[in-house]
Amino acid sequence: MKRLFIFFLVLGLSAGQAYAATLTFNGVQGTQEDEPFNQVDVFRFETVGPGEVGIRVNSDPLGGFDSILTLWQHDGGDYTLLDSNDDANGLYSANPKDSGLRLNLDPGSFLVAVSQWANEPNGNLFSLGFNGNGDPFTSGFEFPYTLTVEGASVVPVPAAVWLMGSALLGLLGYRRKIGR
- Per the structure, the complete domain to which residue 170 belongs is given by 1-17+156-180
Regarding whether 160 and 75 lie in a shared domain, the answer is no
The reply to whether 145 and 164 lie within a common domain is no
Angstrom distance (rounded) from CA 66 to CA 127: 23
Residue 150's pLDDT is what?
A: 86
State whether 78 and 48 are in the same domain.
yes
Pair 143, 166 in one domain: no
With residue 154 as reference, give the H or E element that holds it.
strand 143-154
Q: What CATH code is carried by the domain that includes residue 89?
A: 2.60.120.380
Q: For the chain of 180 residues, list the mean pLDDT of each consecutive stretch of 10.
A: 56 50 82 78 86 86 79 91 82 74 89 88 91 78 86 51 59 65
Q: What is the pLDDT of residue 30?
A: 80
The number of distinct structural domains making up the chain is 2
pLDDT for the residue 80: 94
62 with 136, same domain: the answer is: yes
pLDDT at 113: 92
Q: What are phi and psi of 135, to 5 degrees?
A: -75, 105
Q: Does residue 116 sit in the same domain as residue 179?
A: no
Pair 121, 84: CB distance under 8 Å? yes
Q: Do 173 and 109 belong to one domain?
A: no
